[in-house]
Structure formats: C-alpha cells, structure tokens
Amino acid sequence: MLDVQVELLQRFFDDSRDIIALADKQNPTHTEILAVGSTLQAFYNGVERILLLCARACGDFDNRKRQMENWHQWLLFTMSNGSPSRPALLSESLHERLLEFLKFRHVFRQMYVFELRWTLVVPLLRQLEDTYRQFLVELDGFRKKVTFPR
C-alpha cells in the first residue's frame, strides 16, 4: 500500500511539470492560479496519505486520533519526532516546509476560488520540487529503518 502511494505521488509530480513551470510567469490567468492552488493542495494530500500509512504501520495512529480536530497537524508533528517504536520520518526543516503546505491547503479549502492570489501560491510553487525531492529522500531513509507490512 505504501509503495502504491509513493508511486502515485511520483506520477502526480511528473504530471504537474507544466504547472510547476508557471512559477516564473509574471501575469498568470485566474485559471492558472487556480490550477497552481489545486496542485499545491493535491501535493500535500499525497504526502499526508503517505505519512498516515507510516504512522498506522508504526502504531502511532488509529481512528480515534482522526476524530481529533487538529489531527492533520498532529500527524505532521508526530512524524517529525521519533518514538520508542520508530525514528522521526521528517527532519525539522522538512516539517517546517510541509507545515506551510498544510496551512495553504486549509486556506485553499476555505476560500472562494476568486479570492486566490498569485502572491499566495507562487512561493509554495517555487518550493514544490525541492520539498517533493526532500520528502522522498527522508521517506527512503525512514523505510530503511522501519519494517512495513506488505
């Protein structure tokens, strides 16, 4: 299951190259801004699915946790810290970057699309590729230390 989610995230990233290329655009259309916002949200959704699978596999997450109001932040924080059963999956710097994507997702879900501004999305868009690559590196290191059920 984890391998499938990693492959889906990789496919998503590969399919998003045209959107990522918009980072240098000076006057994007509203449709392009909306496409970027959707891409940023989808990226974090994919990361969160992987974090959730890792947390469940290590016994850190169950359905009771999902009932917590702030479970999304809790999951990100938890996977950035080690526990007796596992090492931290995320470094502090990656945690901080992913937290910005999480915050954006919350804003994106709450706003009307016509409120979305280029100044809100372009900084994250410019970080997307590096964040994605760092996430894969840290996930790979984590997977080498933890045994996952097939």
Residue 150 lies in a domain: no
User: Of 7, 73, 50, nearest to 143 (Cα)?
Assistant: 50
**What's the average pLDDT block by block, 10 residues per block, for the chain (150 residues)?**
95 96 94 96 97 89 72 93 91 98 94 88 97 98 84
Q: C-alpha angle with apex 59: 100 to 82, nearest 5 degrees?
A: 55
| Number of separate domains in the chain | 1
Residue 135 lies in a domain: yes
Residue 107 lies in a domain: yes
Residue 13 lies in a domain: yes
* Predicted local confidence at residue 103, as pLDDT: 96
- Can you give the residue range of the structural domain that contains 141? 2-145
Give the predicted TM-score (pTM) of the model. Answer: 0.92
| Rounded Cα–Cα distance for residues 91 and 55 (Å) | 16
Residue 78 lies in a domain: yes
